[in-house]
Structure formats: structure tokens, C-alpha cells
Amino acid sequence: MSNLSIRAPLAWLGTGGLTADVQIDLDGGVIASVGRVHPVPEDTDVLAADGIVIPAAADRHVHIGLADPAAVLARGVTAVRDLGWPADSIFPLADLSELPNFDGPLIRAAGPMMTVPGGYPTRDGWAPPGTGREISGPEEAAAAVKELTAAGATAIKVSLNAEAGPVPSDAELTAICDAAHEAELPVTTHTQGAGQVERALGAGVDELAHTPWTHRLSDDVVARCAATMRIVSTLDSLGFGRDTPALRTALDNLRRFHDAGGTVIYGTDLGNGSIPPGIHTRELLLLREAGLTNEEIVLALTRAPIEPGAPADLIVIGRDPLRDLAAFDDIRMVVRAGRVAPQPAVG
């Protein structure tokens, strides 16, 4: 594979403002150098960017088995984290995504959600058999974490959906967190129903896989979450473009979480309803409604900054997203692991 250099009249490298006349040299799947335009070796392909170069996006909450990976990549998302799918299909797909000819984003996966017999998502129509990993007791919970770690999980997801069925006990939840942290894996959770966020806090969960939406969290709980957890946004999945009570509650919770200094990251729950593949502008606009600045939103979306040693994942868009988030509706080129991704045919 030839090396690639991209020359751009403007680039946003991941911090600060726009930089003019930038050349980004790619060495296979990593960025080799970033600087002013300069000569390149004869065996290097040079592309002139028709727009502004910025880092590619990562979506930290997807169900990729319910989506088209090629469409996800074509719309600027070069890495995803799957948060709930059967182990026997998602981990092989994640391995396949490492190959240079994979037409889709890099996939990292949690595997099945940890739950209890009859708990969410074992009885939900969207979830194929095996999407939930049922456990009974703290010892079995810890063993299941070790099993998923050995299979390739990059996070452990726990179902605390008390509105859909039984949920793990405090002892089981603590055992899951302890085993995951011993394996140096974060724990993310679907919390739904009164008291479930508080239980997650008490057990040491690292992340909420959705912005809480079932009820307004107290200011004290919000402050405690902001100090120890991050939240994956998934706001549009609460209304799919409509203004719903659940969305209003989530926006209020996320606004106060952000104001308290909490870390918000971009995720869409792709595979749920009408969420489109790739960068979802409506999700970004909802993040702005929750009080994040445009720069904070773009950072929440960014896989990695454009700097030497970082993944060679870039996109070219038509205008400055720090001024106008709708710029993400005009994606002109996607580079993943040093290769230009095919764009879908128009018409």
C-alpha cells in the first residue's frame, strides 16, 4: 500500500482554531507527520482536500448488527463501540474490522449485556438470542466478566433496566464492576427506572450508556455522576426528531451534568429506530441544546486528534464545524486507517 499525503487549505487538528495550508503525511494506518506543505517521496500519493480536514468520528454506542457498516463509514464514523450483541457474532466481526479491506468502521465491542434471568434485553424483540448474558449470583457474575474479557470485550455492559424486568442485585453489580476493573475494563450500564443511576454510582460503574431519561436526577446525584462517570449522549433515540417528555428530561439531566464538569461523549444507539448511520447532525444539535459548545461537541465526537502517532482517520467537510454543526451534512472524503473510503453512488 502506497503512503498517502493529504494537503488541505484549512484543517482543524483537534484543538484550537483552524490551521491554514496543512499537509498530513500518513504511513499506513497511522499519522506520520503534520505540518506545512512540503515535497514528498515519489512513491507517495498526494490528495488535495476539497474542504476542511478534521479528525474522523467515533460513535461510542451502536448495535452494528442492526446497521450497514459501509454506510456508517461513508458518513464519517471510522470507529464504533458495540454495546450489546451476541458474542458469537460480534467478536468475530470486530476481528474482521481490523483487516485493511473491511468496508466499515473499526469495531470494538462489549459483547452481550450482563443481566439476570428474564431481565432486559432477553425478552425484547430487537435483541437476538445471546444479546443478554444471564448471571445468577456474584461468583457467576465475576466469572462471566472473565469469559467476556477472554473473548475480546473492550468494555462490560450491564443492564439495569428495572422497567423491563429484573436487574442484577447490588452484590452482583459490585462483583461485575470489581472483576471488570481488575481486568482494566470500564463498566457501562443501561440505567432505566428510579434508583438505578444511584445503584450504578454505589457499585462503581464508569459510564452511563444513555443520558438518563426516565426521571429528573437530583442535583446531588448529578454532581456525584459528574465526578466519577461519563455519559454517552444517545439523545435523539428518545424522540427521533420529535420533542418528547423523555427527551426534555434527558436534556435537563445532561445540561446539569455538563455544568457540573461531567464528561459527555457522542453516541447514537445506532440500530435503534430511525437513527441514521454515520455522523448524526441532529444528535449534535441536541448536545448544543444541552449546553455544550460547538468545540466541546466536536471533541465529544472525535476519535483522536490529528497528530503524529494517531490513527490515520480523517474526514473532509465543506465548512467549519466549530461555527456550524450542519457542516457535517457535507462530508466530502473519509480516510480510515490511511485508505480513502468509497463513497456511495449519488442518484
Asked whether residue 346 is assigned to any structural domain, the reply reads: no
Checking if the pLDDT of 163 tops 90, the result is: yes
Does 252 share its domain with 325?
A: no
Q: What is the pLDDT of residues 27-63, one digit of tens each?
A: 989 999 999 998 888 888 999 999 999 999 999 999 9
With 80 as the cut, is the pLDDT of residue 131 above it? yes
**Residues 127 and 234 grouped into a single domain:** yes
> Do 68 and 172 share a domain, yes or no?
yes
What is the tens place of the pLDDT at every residue in 274-315?
999 999 999 999 999 999 999 999 999 999 999 999 999 999
Q: Is the pLDDT of residue 9 over 50?
A: yes
Task: Round to whole Å and give the CA distance between 57 and 161.
Answer: 29
Cβ(86)–Cβ(96) below 8 Å? no
Cis ω for the linkage preceding 121 (within 30 of 0): yes
Say what the pTM is. 0.96
Tell me the C-alpha distance between 329 and 282, whole Å.
10
Q: Do 61 and 43 fall into the same domain?
A: no
**Average model confidence (pLDDT) for the chain?**
96
The single residue listed with the C-alpha cell 464528561 is 263
pLDDT of 2: 66
Residue 16, pLDDT score:
87
Q: Is the pLDDT of residue 347 over 50?
A: no
d(CA 146, CA 25): 40
Average pLDDT over residues 70-87: 98
Q: Which of 83, 47, 292, 75 is nearest to 185 (CA)?
A: 83
CATH number for the domain harbouring residue 19: 2.30.40.10
CATH number at residue 109: 3.20.20.140
**Number of structural domains in the chain:** 2
Give the pLDDT of residue 254.
98
Q: What percent of the chain has pLDDT over 90?
A: 93
Do 136 and 242 lie in a common domain?
A: yes
Q: Is the pLDDT of residue 330 over 80?
A: yes
Instruction: Say yes or no: 12 and 139 in one domain.
Output: no
* Domain ranges, residue 280: 56-301
pLDDT at 202 over 60: yes
Q: How confident is the model at residue 229 (pLDDT cuts 50, 70, 90)?
A: very high
